[in-house]
Structure 1
Amino acid sequence: MEDIAAPPVPVDPTAQAAPQAPAEPEFISETLYIQNLNEKIKIDVLKTSLRGLFKSYGEVLDVVAHDNLRMRGQAFVSFADPETAKKAMKEVKGFPLYSKPMQISFARTRSDAVVKKLDPENYDKHKAAREEHKKATRYTNPLKRKFRAKRMAAEMDGAGAAPVSKRPNVQMPDEYLPPNKILFLQNLPESVSKDQLMALFSQYPNLYEVRLIPTKKDIAFVEYMDEGSATVAKDALHNYKLDGENKIKITFARK
C-alpha cells in the first residue's frame, strides 16, 4: 500500500512574522581602556608613548596610567569624540607596544578630561560622584583588598632595604630610557647607507636627520622633530629586518 503524503498546512496570507527585538546599539565611548601593557616600562615613558601613538588619529585629551598594583599594565586614552576613539581602537588593537599586543575596549565611564571639555557645567558633579564611588568601594572591593595587602607586604619587605646613598649605581638599560627625539640604532648591516635609512624612517612624520658613524658602521642616530614622532617610529621599526636577516635594535638615545 502506497504511503499517502500529508496535505500541506495552509498558510494565512494575512499572517505576519513575529517581530524581532531591535538590535542593541553598539556601545562606544570617547575613552579607550587599554590592557596587557608592559609593566616594566616606567609610567611617564608609557604615557608619552601612548600619546605619541594615538595622537595621529585626533586630539588626545588625556592619558591616565598608574604604577600601583591594581592599575599596573592598564591605561586610559581619552579623545574629544567617540568616533575618533572607535577608529583608533580598530587600527591600533593588537599593536605590540613594547613587545606586548595591546588589548583595547571602550571605557564604561567618561574620564575627567572628557567631561571637563564636553560638559563643563557638570564637571564638579561628575568629579564628586567619582570620589564618592571610590570611597564606597575602597574597603569592599575584594580586588582592592587583595592589592592593598600585596602593597603592604611589599612595603614591609622593603623596610630593611639599603639606603639610597649606599645602593650600587646601576645604569638604566637602553630599553627603559626615557623618551627622546633622537633614536639610537644598533645591529645595522655594515653595508647600510644613509639613503636607505632615510627612506625607511621617512615613512613616519617629522623626520629631521639621519647620522651614520663612519668608524662604526653598525650603529646610527635618527632624529625627529619631537619625542612623540620618534616614539611612533621606534615602536614600528624596532626589530625590523633591514637586510632580511638581522633585526635592528632601536632605543631612545641617552640624554
Structure 2
Amino acid sequence: MSKRSNDVEDPPLKRKKVEKSSSYTLYVKNINDKLKPHQLEQQLYYLFSVYGDVVAINCPPKMRGQAFISLSDSNDTIVARNKLQNRVIFGKKLIIEFAKNNSKKIEDSF
C-alpha cells in the first residue's frame, strides 16, 4: 500500500522524565550548623518521617551542616527529596541529593 499525504504518522509522544533511584539514603546539606546534634536528629526525623519510615539518621560530627537520612522505601526517598528540596529550615535552604551509598542499616536488611 502506498502512503497517502493525509496518512501522516503521529510524532512520538514525549514522555516525562521519571526519576528513578535505587537509593534509600538521602544526603542533606546546607543545614544550620548551630543546632545541637540531638536537636538536629530530632528535627530531621520529624521532617522526613512525613514521607516514609525513617530507618537511620546519621549526622557525622566532622560534617557540620550535613546529614544522611535513610528511608525504608526508595520511592519515599524520591518523594521526600522532591517535596523538601530548597525548603527553608532554621533559616537555610536544604539541598538534598541521593547518597552514593546506602546506609549500613539498609544494606543489612536485604
Match of 2:26 in 1: 32
Q: How does 1:162-177 map to 2 (within 5 A)?
A: none
Q: Any residues of structure 2 matched to 1:11-160 within 5 Å, and which?
A: 26=19, 28=21, 29-68=23-62, 71-117=63-109, 119=110
Structure 2: segments with no counterpart, 5+ residues: 1-17
Larger radius of gyration: 1
> For 1:80 and 1:99, how far apart are their aligned partners in 2?
28
Q: TM-score, normalised by structure 2?
A: 0.78
Whole-Å separation in 1 of the counterparts to 2:60 and 2:99:
16
Deviations 1:93-147 (A, max 9, x none): 1111111110000001111111122x1xxxxxxxxxxxxxxxxxxxxxxxxxxxx
Q: Indicate the residue corresponding to 2:5 in structure 1.
A: none
Gaps of 5+ in 1: 1-24, 120-255
Q: Which amino acid counterpart does residue 32 of structure 1 have in structure 2?
A: L
| Residue in 1 that maps onto 2:8 | none
Q: Which one has the bigger helix percentage?
A: 1
Q: How many residues align?
A: 92
Matches of 1:76 and 1:95, distance apart in 2: 17
State the Cα distance separating 1:50 from its structure 2 match. Answer: 0.2
Give the structure, 1 or 2, with the largest relative contact order (CA under 8 Å, sep 6 or more).
2
Residues 52, 73 of structure 2: 8 Å contact kept? no
Q: Which has the higher strand share?
A: 2
Q: Structure 1 residues 50, 75: closer, same or farther in 2, change over 3 A?
A: same
Give TM-score scaled by structure 1 length: 0.35
Over aligned residue pairs, what C-alpha RMSD do you find?
1.4
